[in-house]
Amino acid sequence: MTEEDTALSDETSPEEAPYTLDRKAVVQILYAVDTDDRDRLIALMEPLHAADIADLLEQVNAFDRMRLVRLYDREFDGEILSELDETLREEVIGILAPQVLVDAVRELDSDDVVDLLEDLGEPQKEAILGALEEPERAAVEQSLAYPEYSAGRLMQREVVMAPEHWTVGAAIDHMRGSDSLPEQFYHIIIVDPKLHPVGNVTLGRIMSSRRDVLLKSLVEDTFHVIPATQAEGDVAYAFNQYHLISAPVVDEDGRLVGVITIDDAMAVLDEENEEDILRLAGVDGESRLSDRVVDTTKRRFPWLAVNLLTSILASLVIAQFEAAIAQVVALAVLMPIVASMGGNAGTQSLTVAVRALATKDLTGSNLWRVVRREVLVGLVNGVAFAVIMGIVGLLWFGSPALGLVIAAAMVINLVVAGLAGITIPVVLNRFGIDPALASGAFVTTVTDVVGFFAFLGLAVVVLL
């Protein structure tokens, strides 16, 4: 094995994180592109997984990406398109030669083709559909007819099914004789004469049973049927909640039309978690590292504008106590501490609430228990930090009264922060507003306004 091949191995140096592209390999690949050495490029890319090649394309600049794709040419795999970030798919598809694109798409399952087409313009969509055989094209078009972000878009049309009266032997003979089985599947779906799914049989049970055993005697205890119109977020929740490996998808008449497998469901769950994290920070859930400056600016500007308005509101509260601040300058020094502690405490409660709502753990039956817990946590933390800040105020400014004021304000704001952090996401969710996207601005406003008002208001009463 050469030094260059070693760079592409699974082993990573101590400073390299596991499962990341080796920097030496990236340099060698880009050097092959620079020197127009196609044979060397293919040799370097051949050991890489499609997901790693997609990462490579996302990490290099647009010029190097164009040259790499063109030089790689007909070696380009459909799986790479499937793994590629959706914001770059259209760009890469535009670079690929038409015949290369046709060959790449033909390798994909129907669900991957649907996912590929969703974000493309009509000319490219028609080009890809035109590359498919008539049965595959009809299946993809039927999936695209379902609502966006629904189970119908997520499912694959390639299904392995069997009637109720089949035996294990009949099922094995059918699978061995078929030339159109999916590349990966986990169950045979048992259907009645009207194509209604009635059970799942795992391949493991089939392989461990005698040939004369009826399939319907081997069905799994846990069996869930997914309506084609069900939201993909609910599908992902069902897979996670009930530990499903695959589940049949049915139309409005209950007939089998496809199957969803765990890899697709977990991809949805991962995307939703990522979106929630980004939205908690006021960043659009579709933001990617490969986005252009203009697109990123447009997505972030609205929430920065909202934050500006909430900051102005907090400043108006401060302005009401301008005279008090002028008389006791120490108030200006200490009031950011009160607001900052409240904001951090509110964010902690907010994060817990948003996650619990997403996983359906926070419901009407346990809401008040959770609210009570967060308020009590805020009270305990408030008292603890009140003691600390009371001592700080006394030692720093030599004023017991000032220490008492900031201690009391700390307790009030941390209690309110805990209450706001848990209730605001719940209220927004009840009104159909995404709590991950909108809660942060409201919680920050509440903690800032309450913190400043409590601290400065108490200062006026106690110190002046």
End position of a domain, from candidates 256, 280, 304: 280
Q: What is the pLDDT of residues 230-241, one digit of tens each?
A: 999 899 989 988
- The reply to whether 138 falls in a domain is yes
Residues 403 and 308 in one domain: yes
Residues 191 and 267 in one domain: yes
Residues 88 and 199 in one domain: no
Residues 315 and 452 in one domain: yes
- The reply to whether 420 falls in a domain is yes
Give the C-alpha separation, 336 to 314, whole Å: 11
- The reply to whether 155 falls in a domain is no
Residues 25 and 114 in one domain: yes
- Domain containing 260 equals 161-280
- Output the domain CATH number for residue 424: 1.10.357.20
CA distances from 316 to 309, 439, 451 (A): 11, 22, 13
Residues 122 and 11 in one domain: yes
Q: What is the pLDDT of residues 120-141, one digit of tens each?
A: 777 778 877 877 888 888 888 8
Per-residue pLDDT of the chain in tens (464 residues, 90 and over written 9):
444 444 444 444 445 567 677 788 889 999 999 999 999 999 999 989 988 998 899 888 889 999 999 999 888 888 898 888 877 887 888 888 878 887 888 778 888 888 888 777 777 788 778 778 888 888 888 888 899 889 999 999 889 999 999 999 999 999 999 888 888 899 999 999 999 999 999 999 999 999 999 999 999 998 999 999 999 989 998 998 899 999 999 999 999 999 999 988 988 887 777 666 666 655 555 555 556 677 667 766 776 777 788 788 888 888 888 888 888 888 888 888 888 888 888 888 888 888 888 777 888 888 888 889 988 998 999 899 888 888 888 888 888 888 888 889 989 999 999 999 899 988 988 888 878 777 777 888 888 888 888 889 888 888 87
Q: How many domains does the chain have?
A: 3
- The reply to whether 412 falls in a domain is yes
End position of a domain, from candidates 280, 303, 333: 280
Residues 128 and 171 in one domain: no
CB count within 10 Å of CB 310 equals 18
Which residues contact residue 117 at a Cβ distance below 8 angstroms, ignoring those fewer than 6 apart?
A: 125, 128, 129, 140, 144
Q: What is the DSSP letter of 150?
A: B
Residues 251 and 316 in one domain: no
- The reply to whether 156 falls in a domain is no
End position of a domain, from candidates 85, 114, 145: 145
Residues 332 and 457 in one domain: yes
Give the C-alpha separation, 69 to 61, whole Å: 12
Q: How far is CA 139 from the centre of its chain?
A: 27
Of the candidates 136, 181, 134, 158, the one whose C-alpha atom is nearest the C-alpha of residue 257 is 158
- Output the domain CATH number for residue 205: 3.10.580.10
pTM: 0.67
CA distances from 206 to 137, 171, 200, 211 (A): 32, 8, 11, 9
Residues 318 and 242 in one domain: no
